[in-house]
A and B are shown apart, each in its own frame.
Chain A
Amino acid sequence: MDPVAAKYIGAGIACIGMGGAGVGVGTIFGNYLAAALRNPSAAQGQFANLIFGFAVTEALGIFSLLIALLLLFAL
């Protein structure tokens, strides 16, 4: 296979990992919303935890994006 083509295919495959992060972030915000509707008065206190969980989960998606960017521009 042409190495350039393989590079682009590899970058595309690496982006699949972001789907997993999408599921994770959706789970976090969905569960937060469900809990916030059950107990709205406690929701504000957990907002920092929500953002922290979101950031940590999103980091994994960012790593796969990083691999794609490295394949496209750095290697």
Chain B
Amino acid sequence: MADPIHQFQVVNYFTLGKVGSVNLAFTNSALYMGIAVGLTAALMLGAGRQLVPGRMQSIAELAYEFVADTIRNTIGEGGMQFFPLVFSLFMFILISNMVGLIPYNFTVASHIIITAALALLVFITVLVYGFWKNGLHFFNLFVPKGIPIYILPLVVFIEVLSFLSRPISHSVRLFANMLAGHITLKVFAGFVTLLGSLGVAGWLGATLPLALTVALTALELLVAFLQAYVFTILTCIYLNDALHPGH
């Protein structure tokens, strides 16, 4: 029986070349990232522009309106300039999570390097845009108003610390949820084969973990969407800090 970690193995398909001592390889991770981007592009570009939307166009418009509403509610109308970034992040994470849920497929977000890169992209965008737009007023973010002067140093210290820990929690949340969910699925699927090898009595017993695997897949479907949404809404909240650093 294959171990539950086996599904996360990065397989090198072919090597494109070398940069320094690092192999520039095309892996299964890169392939599934390409699939996620391709599916997103196919959905958005193939949707059509009818006045009365068809099925594909309805899905595309639903996705657009969902992300646009999230941005309008958290940042306001001024946040729509970040719509391309936020929408790309949401669709990439959502589609790659959904594709990863199909058995024998690779889950891109189950590797910390991928989610860390996405989270750092957001973090650096917030830093660069925050300083570009507000200058040194961006530091107001760390100084909440209406705090007594004697506990202000402590509050500022905590605010700075929580700001710096954002990319960590932002990336590890998505990664840990995907990793733990997929390991749980494979462990329960492993019970099915384990019990099934015991004969007829085992087959009866195996229906229980099989039913649980189906139920867990449904739960993972929810988690895959929820984590994509959480990543998106946190991105919006962080970008809101860059736009309006005063508390």
Chain A residues positioned under 8 Å from B160 (CB to CB): none
Q: Residue-by-residue, is A41-64 near B (CB-CB < 8 Å gives 1, otherwise 0)?
A: 000000010011011001100110
- Contacting pair B172 A62 (CB below 8 A): yes
**Given A51-B230, A52-B237, CB of A59 within 8 Å of CB of B70:** no
Chain A residues positioned under 8 Å from B165 (CB to CB): 59, 63
> Contact partner of B230 among A54, A63, A69, CB < 8 A?
A54
Chain B residues positioned under 8 Å from A58 (CB to CB): 169, 173
| Dominant secondary structure of chain A at its interface with chain B | helix
**Given A59-B165, A66-B168, CB of A52 within 8 Å of CB of B173:** no
**Given A48-B73, A55-B230, CB of A65 within 8 Å of CB of B172:** yes
Distance of A51 Cα from B234 Cα, bound (Å):
9
Chain B residues positioned under 8 Å from A48 (CB to CB): 70, 73-74, 233
Closest to B166 in A: A59
A2 to chain B, nearest CB (A): 24
- Contacting pair B234 A63 (CB below 8 A): no
> Contact partner of A55 among B73, B168, B173, CB < 8 A?
B173
| Dominant secondary structure of chain B at its interface with chain A | helix
Chain A residues positioned under 8 Å from B168 (CB to CB): 62-63, 66
Distance of A58 Cα from B227 Cα, bound (Å):
12
B176 within 8 Å of A by Cβ? Answer: yes
Within 8 A of A (CB), among B155-212: 165, 168-169, 172-173, 176
Distance of A59 Cα from B177 Cα, bound (Å):
12
- Contacting pair B173 A51 (CB below 8 A): no
- Contacting pair B229 A62 (CB below 8 A): no
Within 8 A of B (CB), among A11-56: 48, 51-52, 54-55
Closest to A52 in B: B237
- Contacting pair B230 A62 (CB below 8 A): no
B48 to chain A, nearest CB (A): 30
Other A-B pairs beyond A52-B237, A63-B169, 10, CB < 8 Å: A48-B233, A51-B229, A51-B233, A52-B233, A54-B230, A55-B233, A55-B234, A59-B165, A62-B172, A63-B168
